[in-house]
Amino acid sequence: MSTGINMTQVKRRNRSLVLKYLNRVGPVSRKDMADAVGLTSASVTNICNELISEGLIQEVGVDDETKGVGRRKVFIDIDYDSRYVIAFNIEADLSTVALCNLAGDVVQKKTVETDKSLSPEDFLKKLSSIAKKIVSGQSDYLKSKISAVSVGIVGPIDKATGVSWHAYGIWENAVEVKDILEKALKLPCYVENNVNAITKATMLLGIGRKYDNLHIIKWGPGVGSTIVINGEIYEGINGRAAELGHVIIEKDGLRCSCGKRGCLETRVSINALNKIAPFEKQDFYKAYINSKAEKRKAFDDAIDIFARSIVNTITLFAPEHVILSGYLFMEDGIRKRVIETCEKYAKTLEKSTIIPNNIMSCEDYIGPVGAYLYEIIK
């Protein structure tokens, strides 16, 4: 009995090894892959045959040097167009619906304001009808390749049931996101916390393809972060690790949405910054430059506090890179200011340690695409 279970687990692990390797370095020959991942050629051939029959990988060409010389080297790679996913990214201010392939290339997308006057169920139905409209405009061929809905959402979620426990700034009670969207769209639905989703996208589609130890920080309306250790997200108890936005940075500080006092978010969230000087979304740096000296000082203080928190996590975890995500970090002026301040505190910091996330500008739908790819590859 136990042998059967073990064989299934071994098969699954080997399949994952092959897909992870292809996603990292593909295209590659079966033989080179077998050597690199430590499996026999026969085993790699079997797994590849299975994945080819599922349409998930494909033969993409022949090594020129081996053409006409005995056995040819055929390259294989993941077919990122083999499946399409409807990505929902739900955040406190804006939400996006995007139809994408597995590489995150967008067929069509629409961003709307997150309408908090609607009930959670009605809001999810509204997003579903946007998705239906996008899908209805596609060819039958593309429609046949849409295989899932993947949702990135703020706050804690239950991955198994797809329940959002508390979407900070949107709803406070449990909402059965997976259930509602599966009924509306008749597709399997995966739900993930939005920062974890961006982390998975970074690991599989971004710089995480090259590095296994990362600290990913997202600065949108609030501050979220994740820590990747040896290629795995460090979750902590109940997935609550790496809450950078809720490290305490001052004595007797303001009350935070998490219930504590003096959290980093009470000083650097959009709401906190708006109290210093109101600014339009994606116009933060301009607001900073145009504000009076005392307001600029208050901004600088907020950035200084943020930078110290980042340097402290570098000291604790020594990641290969700190990856800055989210629309506030995507503004060059602000990002540079944060990085310079970090370097001021950590003189020995390598210049390239803190870098912007190369998979996103202001567009967070890449997160749920990455979360779905993770489900396929894991």
**What residue ranges bind Zn ion (CB under 5 A)?**
246, 256, 258, 260, 263
To the nearest whole angstrom, how small is the minimum distance from the Cβ of residue 247 to Zn ion? 8
| CB closer to Zn ion out of 259 and 278 | 259
Tell me the HSE value of 124 on the side-chain side, using a 13 A CA sphere. Answer: 26
| CB closer to Zn ion out of 104 and 169 | 169
| CB closer to Zn ion out of 61 and 236 | 236
Distance CA 361, CA 260 (A): 32
Report whether 146 contacts 135 (CB < 8 A). Answer: yes
To the nearest whole angstrom, how small is the minimum distance from the Cβ of residue 263 to Zn ion? 3
Distance CA 12, CA 17 (A): 9
| CB closer to Zn ion out of 264 and 330 | 264
To the nearest whole angstrom, how small is the minimum distance from the Cβ of residue 243 to Zn ion? 8
| CB closer to Zn ion out of 74 and 305 | 305
Token output for 170: 């949107």
Query: Per-residue b/e over 247-259, b at no fewer than 16 CB within 10 Å?
Result: bebeeeeeebbee
Report whether 222 contacts 269 (CB < 8 A). Answer: yes
Q: What is the DSSP letter of 245?
A: G
To the nearest whole angstrom, how small is the minimum distance from the Cβ of residue 195 to Zn ion? 15
Strands (E), 172-213: 189-193
To the nearest whole angstrom, how small is the minimum distance from the Cβ of residue 107 to Zn ion? 38
| CB closer to Zn ion out of 23 and 266 | 266
CA-wise closest residue to 201 among 22, 365, 80: 365
| CB closer to Zn ion out of 127 and 242 | 242
Q: Strand pairing of 146-153 and 189-193? A: parallel
Distance CA 64, CA 145 (A): 32
Distance CA 191, CA 371 (A): 8
| CB closer to Zn ion out of 233 and 249 | 249
Query: Per-residue b/e over 334-358, b at no fewer than 16 CB within 10 Å?
Result: bbebbbebbbeebeebeeebbebbe
To the nearest whole angstrom, how small is the minimum distance from the Cβ of residue 222 to Zn ion? 9
CA-wise closest residue to 336 among 356, 362, 315, 358: 356
To the nearest whole angstrom, how small is the minimum distance from the Cβ of residue 324 to Zn ion? 20
To the nearest whole angstrom, how small is the minimum distance from the Cβ of residue 225 to Zn ion? 13
